[in-house]
Amino acid sequence: MPIAITSEHSDLADSVRSLVARVAPSELLHEALEVPIPNPPPYWKAAAEQGLQGVHLSEAVGGQGFGILELAITLAEFGYGAVPGPFVPSAIAGALISADDPEAKILGGLASGETIAAYAIDSGLTATRHGDGLVIRGEARAVPAAAQASVLVLPVAIESGVQWVVLDAAQLEIEPVRSVDPLRPLAHVRANATEVTLDEDAGRVLSRLSRAHARALITTLLSAEAIGVARWATDTATAYAKIREQFGRPIGQFQAIKHKCAGMIAETERATAAVWDAARALDDAQEDPSAETHFEFAAAVTATLAPAAAQHTTQDCIQVHGGIGFTWEHDTNVYYRRALVLAACFGRSSDYPQAVVDTATTTGMRPVDIDLDSDTERLRDEIRAEVAGLKAIPSGAERNTAIAEGGWVQPHLPRPWGRASEPIEQIIIAQEFNTGRVRRPQMGIASWIIPSIVAFGTDEQKQRFLPPTFRGEMIWCQLFSEPGAGSDLASLTTKATKVDGGWRITGQKIWTTGAQFSEWGALLARTDSSAPKHNGITYFLLDMKSPGVEVKPLRELTGNAMFNTVFIDDVFVPDDMVLGEVNRGWEVSRNTLTNERVSIGSSEPPFLANLDQFVEFLRDGQFDQIEQNHAGQLIAEGHAAKVLNLRSTLLTLAGGDAMPAAAISKLLSMKTGQGYAEFAVASFGTDGAVGDPEQEFGRWAEYLLASRATTIYGGTTEVQLNIIAERLLGLPRDP
């Protein structure tokens, strides 16, 4: 999905996308590979009339008065179109000047499009004091759009540190050089005793713009363009995989291609979430300068992820296209070149994972919070008062009953089982229970089963099962997987035969979490072997104490027994324990599995190392630069996964579909969680072989052992990739 979540931002993205499609079609891009486009480009006036050059600039200077997030949305669309010329460099230069002084005189020309600017992220420029001004000498290499700009915003080493200085192109020697991407021209810029006044009215030295702020602006906005490139590569590879046929079928039906495309969208979505977060952090800092450390961290995260996403996805796009993708005439040529130049424009790529580690272990990570509108405060006050009343109940059993009867356990459910809460109310409830330190009964596996009982159960089933489950008194397990049918539920062999008053069921289930402690189980069994596979399944509620049910704990790789094998030998289940309609259990099971995947994707399992624990581990240890680079990558991935979950929640608030983000979050976060433990154990050296859980290395070894299950349960990584490819990207299903 694009950066935009709200309807206003989606409208902005649509507007920019329409302009880009009109002014930068494929044929123009290929012409520009051979013959440089004019300066300013033909689209410059149309963009100015739409207010795009000044979307992020103050209304006082003729801009639209929006923020960095709106500019990032705009630049992502320019990246999607690989728009040639100086638009992106000029916009970044304007953002630097505006961050120092939103009403600087020079911004008027930038907002109207009359002035074109360029910037550099680093340089060899130095300044010495001379009278009331500075004398600048040195060189800035490979400056984007320097030869097209009349104003350049360049970093200069001054006595007090590096500061960005606004220079006229006429003051400088500008040498155009050949660019890997002809659509993004470069030039070396030299200052030979260039004089600059220190008069604040001139606004030449951006003294109020810190080096950290400047680099965060540059890298976040470059990242916005990069994710536009990544999104184009993902869309284009997917579209081609749908129509290109080999061996009599579309190549998108082959799992290797399907998984490659799914990996592309996952990496793109993660980077998009990071850009969105960094842009919001920069806008927050405009309101609250104390939030600077937050944007430093967020910008380092996005600079770690976004340029890599652009480069990886454009490479994969070429691979999916095969030989045609390696031709000069194909658009893949244009976008791969753009990705390579963008990656170079960040400077040394290893700097950013290092910055992630440094900020995370010192000033801390950026919080991942949902800020609700002030008009929700009345609702919050009401919920806070009710939570306080629950907390005042002295007996834990009575409190749990009150929480259950009040619909607080799963408030999104309809009354009387929930509170029919809209998403905003659900968020406030979760926040207030956490803040008030009131513990709601834990549902465990039941949290995935309850919605199915609410949606498909009879009144008698609801009254019998839901109240004790909500009170935490009734424990459930899920009897879906079989030795020959893990994620492939359509291949179930457990058989249910109709008898008087009910069904006789025989079969075997495996990987059943908590079955040895459970009173009831949600059971899938085949009731019609002649029906199409999905239509011949029925959903039963099984009393785990029934004669013929045998539970054998399955000792796992960890040495523990969370899973079980369950043998079901001619077990009688009465008719009133069928959930939903006979032979329609697939619909019910999909409701359960949907709840499972959303739950797994939006939380960090307690038996695994989480991001906070990993950062604490790094803070207490000594690691070389290679290890720190690896750790920074993992932290960036972990933080972006949290932001993906936040975006999923906000999409729900906006009435959108949160499932794509949830599926991708599950895929990515579990792999990253494994990475935390792998890193820690590898860092212990020989002590990594010691399995004493009372010592730190033993504890991390336990995390590592347990983590192997995370890319299997709830849908294996391979199944998740298929789901993402087929449901999100629309690639053809396996035959």
> What are the residue numbers of the active site?
596
- List the alpha helices (DSSP H) in 244-375: 255-287, 292-321, 331-345, 351-361
Is residue 452 within 8 Å of 381, Cβ to Cβ? no
CB environment 106-138: b (16+ within 10 A), e (fewer): bbbbbbbbebbbbbbbbbebbbeeeeebbbbeb
660: cis peptide before it, omega within 30°?
A: no
Q: Considering only CA atoms, which of 266, 259, 352 is closest in space to residue 307?
A: 352
d(CA 136, CA 124): 10
Is residue 173 within 8 Å of 136, Cβ to Cβ? no
Q: Distance of CA 673 to CAs 635, 679, 705, Å?
A: 10, 10, 12
Work out whether strand 476-479 and strand 520-526 pair parallel, antiparallel, or are unpaired.
Answer: parallel
274 CB-near residues (< 8 Å, 6+ apart): 223, 298, 301, 302, 304, 305, 306, 636, 639, 640, 643
Helix, strand, coil percentages (3-state) for the chain, rounded to 5, are 55, 15, 30
For the chain, the C-alpha Rg in angstroms (whole number) is 29
DSSP string, 206-244: -TTS-HHHHHHHHHHHHHHHHHHHHHHHHHHHHHHHHH-
d(CA 14, CA 50): 12
The backbone torsions φ and ψ at residue 318, rounded to the nearest 5 degrees and listed phi first, read: -60, -45
Beta bridge partners of 375: none
| Residue that has been written with the tokens 């079928």 in this structure | 249
Q: Distance of CA 615 to CAs 5, 107, 271, 536, 639, Å?
A: 30, 41, 21, 49, 11
Is residue 76 within 8 Å of 2, Cβ to Cβ? yes
Is residue 32 within 8 Å of 183, Cβ to Cβ? yes
d(CA 320, CA 336): 14
| Residue that has been written with the tokens 């792999």 in this structure | 671
Residue 403 burial (C-beta neighbours within 10 Å; 0-12, 13-18, 19+):
buried
Is residue 434 within 8 Å of 382, Cβ to Cβ? no
Beta bridge partners of 127: 136
